[in-house]
Amino acid sequence: MIDDGKARVLLLENIHPDAVARFESEGYVVESVSSALDEEELISRIEGVSLLGIRSKTKVTARVIEAAKDLAAIGAFCIGTDQIDQVAASEAGIAVFNAPFSNTRSVVELALAEIIALTRRLTEKNNGMHAGIWDKAADGSHEVRGRRLGIVGYGNIGTQLSVLAEALGMRVYFYDSADKLSLGNARRCSTLNELLDVADIVTIHVDGRPGNSGFFGDEQFARMKPGSIFLNLSRGLVIDHDALRRHLESGHIAGAAVDVFPVEPKGRGDEFQSGLRGLPNVILTPHIGGSTEEAQADIGAFVSNKLATYLTEGNTTLSVNLPSVALPPHGDGHRLVYLHRNTPGVLAQVNSVLAEHSVNVEGQLLATKGEYGYLLTDIGIDFTSELINQLAALPQTVRLRVIA
């Protein structure tokens, strides 16, 4: 298809106004929805949409992608992308982008605030004061300095938390299934059990891939030290909430902070249900780890720019599912955006077709990633529909766009 740069944009889950302004400034038609959509609702609204923006609640399934005939790219205005069927997206030639760094500081600051609040028993003191009880006592209240913090998942958030926690005087231990370099004086644990045996506070920062479902359950809670504190600011499916409640009620775990849940309301103001409600030593927050004004503004600007640049220039820098390719703006002429199966000889075939039609190549860049290859080719302004049809008909073709 020939793409003139104009598009319909559908933004879900109350994405920051900066993203809306970014698209509207370029003449895109933007529809902004404050809540998440379920599969059927999204299918009913995806027709004619070129760019889709979501956060963590909306699931972009293979059925949604099959119905999205005009969709060029999906933007996850958050860190995680497990809510998107990336295999189906790649097969359909749809690029997926996220914001891997924009809200890490916000999540880390919330984790630190909750660690301090729970270690000082601020939730219980606050509840007592509101009930008219003056409980001025130090029992069970501690400094975080010298406490052992166990970080499960040492990615962008885990590493930044590690550095800041150490600056507060905490002793940091971490466990990650991948081989990660420790920062500062953090100590790597070879197993999760090794971390649980030493940590006074355990905080989870893993992604939501299916293999992590139920990753932390009754066995792990029982393994934690008596009187320890637990936090989950990653994905709701990662932990067993019923098991957490039992260990909180028994007193084995002294306190917990949970920001994510297996089932979350679709929109602001909807009723929230959880077995953790009503416990005095639990901080419950409505999935706001990355929800600061600063983070959401950064995410809105970052992801909208990636989507718009992909549509108008074809650049895939920081795409999570396609090879990373970027060429400078092409000026006059056209840019061929060619996603294809990663098989030998594709570049030669494309250039042979161009040569057959006497089309001069003014710039070209190819990269591959797994089973896909991605080729950008800048050509002069003269070309025929026959050339485009011939390229589209190559057996390796997944998707071909022509940017004017």
Annotated catalytic residues are: 235, 264, 287
The secondary structure element, H or E, covering residue 338 is: strand 334-341
Strand order in the sheet with 8-11: 29-32, 8-11, 51-54, 73-76, 95-97
The secondary structure element, H or E, covering residue 392 is: helix 385-392
**How far is C-alpha 23 from the chain's CA centre?**
21
- 8-11 vs 51-54, strand pairing mode: parallel
| Tokens 């099959």 found at | 66
Residue 106: what residue type? S
User: What are the φ/ψ torsions at residue 41 (nearest 5 degrees)?
Assistant: -65, -40
* C-alpha span between 250 and 131 (Å, rounded): 24
CA atoms in the 13 A half-sphere facing the CB of 300? 21
* C-alpha span between 48 and 70 (Å, rounded): 5
| In 176-258, beta strands by DSSP E | 187-188, 201-204, 228-232, 253-258
**How far is C-alpha 332 from the chain's CA centre?**
36
> Which string of b and e fits 296-314 if b means at least 16 CB within 10 Å?
bebbbbbbbebbbbbbbbb
* C-alpha span between 6 and 226 (Å, rounded): 59
